[in-house]
């Protein structure tokens, strides 16, 4: 399914619906909702994310983020989405399929965040299932990878519920909250 959003920088992009959520590419019209949920969830998200730039929640930084998203989508490098609760059109989080590698690999990496008020309510489960289905059926990928820190039990549980299989352990894998952190590596393939 395609749509046209004149208020944003990303046009003619896919909308993904799955159960209680709608995944939609970010648009400038989403700034206020995005800034609110990120600000309200800052303490909750901080231990799991890279350090936020000082201007992260500004309109200018959001506009720059959208331009980056548009380029990544156009070049088939990444597909970012905001997660909206269908019942009341409330922004609950974000999910991205990034690091797309074509050729023999046909692989991408899933990354996600959820607002503190919306955790453990099934929204991210529905979003990740929708994203993986889209990646396999519409984008033609064969494999989706994901990584999370070993102490992030909620994320590991989510990945397992979605059928991801633990494949390994990467030392100093990503710089999270100012420190290089180990991650557990997971993957899901189209054939499983």
Q: The CATH number of the domain where 115 resides is what?
A: 3.40.630.30
Question: What is the tally of structural domains in the chain?
Answer: 1
Structural domain for 87, as ranges: 2-189
| Residue 65 confidence (pLDDT) | 96
- What SS3 state is found at 99? strand
Which is nearest to 97 in space by CA: 134, 123, 60, 57?
Answer: 134
Residue with tokens 């990646």: 135
Count how many residues are written for the chain: 192
H-run or E-run covering 53: none
| Rounded Cα–Cα distance for residues 118 and 3 (Å) | 26
Sign of the alpha-carbon torsion through 109, 150, 34, 22: positive
CB atoms within 10 A of CB 181: 21
Contact 33, 22 (CB under 8 A): no
Which is nearest to 21 in space by CA: 76, 78, 95, 79?
Answer: 95
Global confidence as pTM: 0.91
Residues 6+ apart with CB under 8 A from 36: none
Q: What is the pLDDT along the chain (192 residues), one digit of tens a residue?
A: 222 233 333 333 589 999 999 999 999 999 999 999 999 999 999 999 999 999 999 999 999 999 999 999 999 999 999 999 999 999 999 999 999 999 999 999 999 999 999 999 999 999 999 999 999 999 999 999 999 999 999 999 999 999 999 999 999 999 999 999 999 999 999 986
């Amino acid at each position: 399914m395609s749509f046209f959003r004149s208020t944003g920088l990303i046009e003619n992009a896919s909308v993904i619906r799955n159960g209680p959520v709608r995944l939609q590419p970010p648009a400038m019209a989403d700034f206020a909702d995005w800034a609110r949920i990120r600000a309200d969830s800052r303490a909750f998200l901080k231990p799991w994310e890279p350090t936020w730039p000082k201007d992260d929640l500004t309109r200018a930084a959001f506009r720059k983020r959208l331009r980056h998203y548009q380029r990544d989508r156009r070049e088939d490098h990444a597909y970012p989405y905001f997660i909206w609760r269908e019942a009341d059109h409330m922004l609950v989080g974000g999910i991205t399929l990034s690091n797309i590698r074509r050729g023999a690999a046909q692989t991408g990496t899933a990354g996600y965040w959820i607002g503190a008020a919306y955790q453990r309510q099934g929204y991210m489960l529905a979003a990740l299932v929708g994203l993986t289905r889209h990646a396999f059926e519409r984008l033609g990928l064969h494999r989706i990878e994901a990584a999370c820190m070993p102490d992030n039990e909620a994320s590991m549980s989510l990945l397992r519920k979605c059928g991801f299989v633990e494949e390994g352990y990467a030392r100093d894998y990503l710089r999270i909250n100012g420190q290089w952190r180990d991650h557990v590596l997971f993957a899901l393939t189209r054939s499983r």
